[in-house]
Amino acid sequence: MPSLRVLVTRPQPQADEWVRRLRGAGFDAAALPLLHIDAVAPGPLRDAWQELAGASIDAVMFVSPNAVSRFFAARPAGLAWPASVWAAAPGPGTAQALVDAGVPAERVLQPDAASERFDSESLWAHMQSLPWAGRRVRVVRGEGGRDWLAQRLLEAGARVDFLQAYGRGAPRLDAAQQALLHEALSRAPHFIWLFSSSEAVGHLPALAPGADWSRSQALASHPRIAQAARELGIGRVDAVSPAFDAVCAALRDAETRCLQSPRP
C-alpha cells in the first residue's frame, strides 16, 4: 500500500487527469484544485478564430492546457488550424493538448525535451532563431499573466497582442476537499503536495489560516513555485520537471524516504 498520498493542485480538468495517470502508475493520488477556472464571453475567442482563418496571425502562444481547451471550445464549426500558423507551448502538457485538439505536431513549438525546466525562457530558447520581425503573434492566456516572452518577441520585431481565454480565481473547495485539506495538515508526513502554480500556493494561507506547514512536503514544477512554497513555510520542497515520468520518479523517492523514516 502506498505510504504517501499525493495532492494534485492543478485546476480542473487537469487535476482529475493527473490523478488518473498517477493512480495508474501505482500512487495514491487525490485532486485538491487550488485554482478555479472561470469562463469568459466566447465572442472574442470566436473572432480570434476568424482572424486565424484569414491568415492575419503568424503564431499563437498558449500558456497552459486550459488556454488550449478554452480557445478550441470556441472554434466555429468547419474551421481547422491553419497549416501556416505556429502554435507555441511552454511545456509538454500544453503541447500535447494542442496536438490532441488538432494542431499538426510539426507546427507546435515547444522547449527541447531535454530541458531542465519548461517555461517561457526555455520556450524562447527554442523560438528565438525564427524570423519574428513584422510577424503577428497572439498570446492566449488567463486573466493577466507573465509578459516575459511577449517582451522578447517585441524586441525581436514582432507585433504581439493578448487574448483572455479564461479567468482565474480562488479555489472553491467542497466539504470533502476541505476535510482532505484538514487531514493533509494534521497528518502532514503522510501527504505530499504537487504544485504547478505559484498563484495556487498563494491561496493556501486563506484556506488554512495560521496553519503550521513545517511538517509538510511538496514537489514544485518550477523554481519560482518552489520558492513560493518555501515562503509559505513548507518544510521540504523539491523542484521537479513537470514531465510525468520525472514527477513519478520524484514521488518514488519521497515514498522511499517516508518508509525509511522512524515511526512516531
Question: Which mean pLDDT values do the consecutive 10-residue runs of the chain (264 residues) have?
Answer: 84 94 97 93 93 89 94 93 94 92 95 78 90 96 84 96 92 95 96 95 96 97 94 96 90 88 56
245 burial via Cβ count (<10 Å: 0-12, 13-18, 19+):
exposed
What's the CA gap between 230 and 158, in Å, rounded?
37
User: Which pLDDT belongs to residue 203?
Assistant: 96
Pair 11, 33: CB distance under 8 Å: yes
- Contact indicator for 30, 6 with CB cutoff of 8 Å: yes
Cβ 127 vs Cβ 150: under 8 Å: no
In this prediction, residue 3 carries a pLDDT of: 76
Residues with Cβ < 8 Å from 71, sequence gap 6 or more? 45, 48, 60, 62, 140, 163, 165
Cα 88–89–92 angle (5° rounding)? 140
> Is 123 in contact with 115 (CB distance < 8 Å)?
no
pTM comes to 0.82
